[in-house]
Amino acid sequence: MKIIETAIEGPVIIEPDVFGDARGYFFESWSQPKFDAAVRPVRFVQDNESKSTYGVLRGLHFQRGEHAQSKLVRVVSGRVLDVAVDIRRGSPTFGRHVCVELTGENRRQFFVPRGFAHGFAVLSPEAVFQYKCDNLYTPEAEGAIAWDDPALGIDWGLKPHEVRLSPKDSAHPRLADAPELFDYNTDYYA
């Protein structure tokens, strides 16, 4: 697999080695030893899958404190714009984001470490999205920031009238007003 560093330390793009012939293709979508050696040791404990239609935007989500999560995300079919926002107060890249297009065809994966908010927008008629988490979902630890916070400047690849949100995702605070984030000097993997 190939590891592609991003403009922000932490999130990385992973391109698997794909082997194909006239019958189809094969690729290893997950290997604990290879991931640990290439990215960082992380023990994933939960796999999730969602299916969404064009214009659905989910995010920008995170889990707080001891329930913080890393995510390894990929698209099985369709096309999404995936976004990670640095929400570690004191970080030299606080409030900056990384975007990557994930598709069923490019088979890229995106690692979003603890200390980042995560979201994605569906850019195809439909998308099946899978992700691994290294901590179990805990409702009382939910955190989020507004997807359309002007201070973040994220171009989601959708016109405003095309964006489809859940009621919860339409009511998150801006980054400057978020009550509890992360601290750059705290090791959330310790």
Residue 34 DSSP SS3: helix
For residues 51 and 42, give the distance between their C-alpha atoms in angstroms, rounded to a whole number.
26
* Catalytic status, residue 188: no
Contact between residue 93 and residue 9 where contact means Cβ atoms under 8 Å apart: yes
- Name the active-site residue from 97, 118, 131, 172: 131
Q: Based on the residue annotation, tell me whether 97 is a catalytic residue of this protein.
A: no
Element (H, E) at 119: strand 116-122
Residues 61, 97, 118, 172: which is the catalytic one? 61
Contact 86, 93 (CB under 8 A): yes
Q: Which two tokens stand for residue 133?
A: 């988490």
Q: Beta 2-5 vs 12-15: how paired, if at all?
A: antiparallel
Active site residues: 61, 131
